[in-house]
Amino acid sequence: MKNLAAKTLAWTLLFTLVLGGMAMAKETRKIGVIVVDIQGDFTKLKNGSLAVEGTDEAYMKTVEENTRKLKEAGFLIFATQDWHPADHVSFFTNHQGKKAFDVIKLNGRDQVLWPPHCVQNTPGAEILLDKKLFKAVVRKGMDPRYDSYSGFQDDGGKKTDLDKLLKKDGIKKVILYGIATDYCVRATALHAIDAGYKVIVIRNLCRGVAPDTSQKAIEEIKAKGVVVLDDLDLEKIIGN
Please state, as a whole number, how many other Cβ atoms lie within 10 Å of the Cβ of residue 59: 21
Closest C-alpha to 189, from 203, 209, 170, 169: 203
Closest C-alpha to 199, from 240, 164, 143, 160: 240
* Active-site residue, selected from the candidate residues 37, 41, 82, 163: 37
Asked if 139 and 81 touch (Cβ cutoff 8 Å), the reply is: yes
Round the CA-based radius of gyration of the chain to a whole number and report it: 20
Distance set, CA 25 to CA 13, 29, 235, 238 (Å): 18, 6, 13, 10
SS3 state of residue 188: helix
- Among this protein's residues, is 140 annotated catalytic? yes
* Active-site residue, selected from the candidate residues 41, 140, 173, 206: 140
Euclidean distance between CA atoms 34 and 121, whole angstroms: 22
Asked if 82 and 91 touch (Cβ cutoff 8 Å), the reply is: no
- Among this protein's residues, is 110 annotated catalytic? no
- Among this protein's residues, is 184 annotated catalytic? yes
* Active-site residue, selected from the candidate residues 182, 184, 198, 206: 184
Q: Which residues are catalytic?
A: 37, 140, 184
